[in-house]
Amino acid sequence: RVLPHPQAPSTSSAARAHAHQQLAQWRMLVAYEQSNPLKLAAADHAEAMQCVFGRCAACLRFYPQPWWAAARFYAAQQQPAAAERFLRRGTDALPHFLPLHFALAEHHERQHDFTAARKALERALEHNPDAPLAWIRLMQHVRTAKAAAAVPSAGRCERHQLEYGRPIAVRKEGPNK
C-alpha cells in the first residue's frame, strides 16, 4: 500500500473536510491499536505503535495531533527518548506551532534537562519572534531553572519563597493558635 504524500493544510472547504475526515480515521486507528487487540507483549506493542504513529505522522505531517498523541503515548509508557523524538520531529514539521515547542520544553524540564528546555524555547522564538506567549514561557522557564539550580532538593516552602519572594504562611496547630 502506498501512503499519500504529506500536504500542508489547505484553505478550501472541501480539502479541509477531507483532511478532517482523514484525521478522524487516523484517530480511530490509533485508538484501536492502543487497545492492543492482539494482546502483544509490552515491547512488541510499543514497536507496533511506533509503526502506527510513524505512518500517521507521515500522512498528517503538517498537523500537530499525531506528534502530540505519539509523545503522550510514549511518555505514559515511560519511554522519554521516544516521546522526545516525536516532539522534536513535530517541531521540525511545524516550526510555527508554539504548543509543540512548549510541550518539548516541558518534556525536557520534567527530565531536569534545563539547557535543552531553554534551547527548545529559543528555537520557538526563532520561528515566532513576535509571539508574546513564547517570551512569557521563556521567562517562566528561566525562573524555574534558577529555582531548581539554587535549591535542587528544596521543600515546598523553600521553593515558594524562591519563586514568590515570601514564605508560605504556616498555620500553627492548637486550640489557641
pLDDT at residue 81, as a whole number: 93
Q: Is pLDDT of 125 > 80?
A: yes
pLDDT at residue 99, as a whole number: 93
pLDDT at residue 118, as a whole number: 93
Cβ neighbours around 36 below 10 Å, total: 14
User: What would the DSSP string read from start to end of 69-105?
Assistant: HHHHHHHHTT-HHHHHHHHHHHHHH-TT-HHHHHHHH
Average pLDDT over the chain reads: 82
pLDDT at residue 5, as a whole number: 47
DSSP state for residue 37 in the 8-state scheme: T
Distance separating alpha carbons of residues 15 and 174, to the nearest angstrom:
68
pLDDT in tens, 20-72: 888 889 999 999 999 999 999 988 998 899 899 989 888 888 889 999 999 99
Instruction: Tell whether pTM > 0.75.
Output: no
pLDDT at residue 10, as a whole number: 59
